[in-house]
Amino acid sequence: MPFLGEDRMDGMTRAQARRLRDRWRAAGLVGAMEHHASSVDLRWRQLNALWRVAIGLGLPLTEAEGVQEVRER
């Protein structure tokens, strides 16, 4: 167990933890840029795949009663 003021956290130094966090942030940014740059065709295929998963899981694909009413308020 680290002592107060010790520069280690669970076997990782603060500098290592910061570098790891920065790498995860950079990876997230790259992922967001890739998603933004993806084609309409790719997004359409992903949406269709998600739709098929929902059907396979037996999820209701229609709106519940009253949803349109709430939207119009």
pLDDT in tens, 37-62: 888 888 899 899 999 999 999 988 77
Taking the model in full, what pTM does it have? Answer: 0.39
Both ends of the chain: CA-CA distance in Å? 57
Residues near 20 by Cβ (< 8 Å), separated by ≥ 6? 12
pLDDT in tens, 25-43: 999 988 888 877 888 888 8
Residues near 51 by Cβ (< 8 Å), separated by ≥ 6? 61
